[in-house]
Every structure is written in C-alpha cells, then in structure tokens.
Structure 1
Amino acid sequence: MIGRLQCVVLDCPDVLELARFYQSLLGGGVNQPDPRWAVNDDFATLHTASGLVLGFQRVEDYRAPRWPDTAHPQQFHLDLDVPDLDQAHHQVLGLGATLLHVDARGWRIFADPAGHPFCLLRG
C-alpha cells in the first residue's frame, strides 16, 4: 500500500451549496474543525457519518460534466446504496438534483447541483 484515501475533492462553483447538498444525502458535518484542511469561501468539507470526507473546491470558470457526453466527461461519480429507490429519487430531486437517466437495471443517474453525476442503487 502506498497511501490511504484522505478525501474525495469535487470542483464546483459554490462550495457550501454542494457541501450541504451532500450533507442532506449522506449526513455528517459541514466544515467540522479538522487540522488537515483550512475551510474558507474557496474550500469546504463534509465529514460523513461513515468516516468518508468529501472536499469541495471552488473553481472560477467551472464547467459541469455532461453525462454521458465524452466531450464534457463526468470526471468521477458516486454510487449510493439506498433502501428505497423511489423514495430516494424524490428526496434527491427535492434537494436540487437533476435526473439524467434510468438504467435498464433500475439504477437512477442524477446530477448534483454543480452537475456531477451520481447514481442511486438499490442497497
């Protein structure tokens, strides 16, 4: 092993908006005190209940990915297991997500408010 994953950082235009969106999905604390990161207008964190840390980095001329357009690649995506796909579907839409696609397997692909794709899967 060379190292451990410290956090996953997502580029976005508004760090607090995206941190709060993922807090609504995953729980946890936004901008919890942590000596590893300095939070400010350009960087926010979310310490999830599972221990995963997401970082959100402001990019001035942010260009959102366009799934599945390879000219604007998704760059990364998150898969989230949920107990009830229909309920989770409505919840994420209410939080500001956009439905992109329903896969033949029933997976639901959404974009977060900054355009990053994420999938809801039956857990």
Structure 2
Amino acid sequence: MALAKLGVVVLDCPDPSALAGFYAGVLGGSVEGDGDGDWVDLAVPGGQALAFQKAPGFVAPKWPAPDDSQQFHLDLVVDDLDTAEKGVLELGAKPLDAADRSRSFRVYADPAGHPFCLCAC
C-alpha cells in the first residue's frame, strides 16, 4: 500500500513563466500562473504535471560533472529524435552531449540549465 501519490514535479528556476513556456512548447499543455510569477503550473495532456518555482540565487546543475550532482533529469519520449531535437533547439535548449548519434537518446539543457533527454520510443 502506497503512503502517497506523486502530485507534481517542481523545477526551481530564475523565471518560472519562461521555463513553463519552454516546456509547454516541448510537451504541449496549458500554463497557469499564481499571479506573482513565483509559481507556475504546466498541465500536460495525459501526462504528469510540472510546476516551476522561482528560486533566487538559482545555480543550474552541471552535466556531466563527476564532482557535482545533476540532482534529476526528465526523460521525454519522442517519435523522431531529429525532429524533436530541431524543435527543442528552436525553443532554446542547448545540447549537452553531442556524442554517439546512433544512441536512442540525446541530452540537452533547458533554458534554465536543467538536463533532460529526448528518448526514442
């Protein structure tokens, strides 16, 4: 028996509205703010909700860095890696791993620096 259920995944960032807009462009869904810009929700159709919280003094995770933790990352499943890559780069993502392009995943940073992967189905 579970003690709880996952409500929302929250990403700290310097600009919640901007980062919610980035992920809305990647995942779809609707962005809902709290009015003061400190907390923004992204309702993703058929998926787990994401939230974005303003974090003064935010420092982006480093990847890959053996002496620094990336803390977590999102795996985003896509039908076509090349098409999805083009889209996330246009939205402001930065490639973090330009290694073997024959792999079934590619690693990027969102505009706030959080690592995420595009993963082929």
Residue 113 (structure 1) aligned with residue 111 (structure 2): yes
**Which range moves more in the overlay, 23-32 or 66-75?**
66-75
Aligned-residue CA RMSD (Å): 1.5
Shift in Å, 1:23: 0.4
Which ranges of structure 2 fall in alignment gaps of 5 or more residues? none
Alignment of 1:70-81 (within 5 A): 70-81=66-77
Match of 1:3 in 2: 4
After TM superposition, which residue ranges in structure 1, 4 or more long, deviate above 6 angstroms?
Answer: none
| 1:80 shift after superposition | 0.9
- Map of 1:99 onto structure 2: 95
The unaligned stretches of length 5 or more in structure 1 are: 33-37
Distance 1:85 1:118 in 2: 13
TM-score w.r.t. the length of structure 1 is 0.89
1:67 aligns with 2:81: no
Q: How many angstroms apart in 2 are the aligned matches of 1:40 and 1:119?
A: 30
* Map of 2:21 onto structure 1: 20
Q: TM-score, normalised by structure 2?
A: 0.90
1 CA distance for matches of 2:51 and 2:10?
Answer: 4
Structure 1 residue 50 displacement after superposition: 1.5
Deviation at 1:52, TM superposition (A): 1.4
- Percent identity, aligned pairs only, is 47
Instruction: Please report how far the alpha carbon of residue 103 of structure 1 lies from its aligned counterpart in structure 2 after TM superposition.
Output: 5.2
Distance change (3 Å), C-alpha of 1:2 and 1:103: farther
